[in-house]
Amino acid sequence: MTYREQVITEVKSQTIFFKPESICKELNEWEKSILLLDESDFAKVYKEKIRSEINSFGLQLRMAVLTDIDAVHDFIVTCFLRDPEAVSKYDIFRFIENGHGLIIENEHRQILGCLFEVGYEKDQKKISYSIRLGIDGSIKGKGLGKLLTIYSCLLAMEKGSQVKIGLIHANNFPSLHIHVNQAGWLIDTFYHNLGTLGLCFEFSLPLTPEALLVNRIDLDKVQTYIGEYIEGIDYLLIKSEDIEAIKTLTKNGAFKIAAVITLKQIHENPLLFALPVEMLYDRYKY
């Protein structure tokens, strides 16, 4: 039994998904070591590492406070020009007071990144909802969106939340790559009737140490998987602009989108890579 298999078979909840090892990144030795810690120490050590990595770029990570509301609102408007009214100053107040806000800033205290969260309960589960991940163009490409996302997951886990959920525009491929590929989230639902919000995916990640580490996608492995397995049985490839196919996929429920990939030899636009649900939720099929 591999180390990954040992980790997965120790998890008690049948509702936690695990993407197959054949498409996921391998754990490094440091990651293996922190999985031996209890949940509290796991979160503490992982958060310290994230802060250190952000500091290595000459930047600082801190929690948002109420005096940040105006500056954060202005920053969000510049990041989301096509939807500047989606978050009000009152919304930011509510997020900071009832959830948490994360800010990345430079030495001049200029805000260059943010992410907010609000918690609630649904179906007897404690849920942490991520809102408005924004990264300034001057610091994109450093993996900071992924680090903010994981840090928010760790904070929510410390507060007792059981699952992270987010809503994202279906054409926001950079954010889809961060969440689904780099952080390991799974797309659960497609909304095509949200009015001015447009076409959106809802996605989630269970808040356990194992789920945070073993679901991250290795895109080279995905290409190998596509070459070795049977399309329509072992996986599906959906064109990201094929709305009817996406609606059918999510309504049917037999497959879930586990990765967002680019295969120029097949299609110019990104493709949605979906796996059978029994492969994702059966802990012993690895």
Q: Is the pLDDT of residue 6 over 80?
A: no
Q: Is the pLDDT of residue 106 over 90?
A: yes
Tens of pLDDT, residues 13-47: 445 899 999 999 999 999 999 999 999 999 999 99
How would residue 281 be classed by pLDDT, with cut points 50, 70 and 90? confident
- Domains with residue ranges and CATH for the chain: 1-24+162-286 (no CATH), 28-116+131-161 (3.40.630.30)
pLDDT of residue 12: 38
Residues 148 and 134: their CA atoms lie apart, in Å, by 10
Kindly report whether the global pTM for this prediction surpasses the value 0.85: yes
How would residue 55 be classed by pLDDT, with cut points 50, 70 and 90? very high
How would residue 81 be classed by pLDDT, with cut points 50, 70 and 90? low
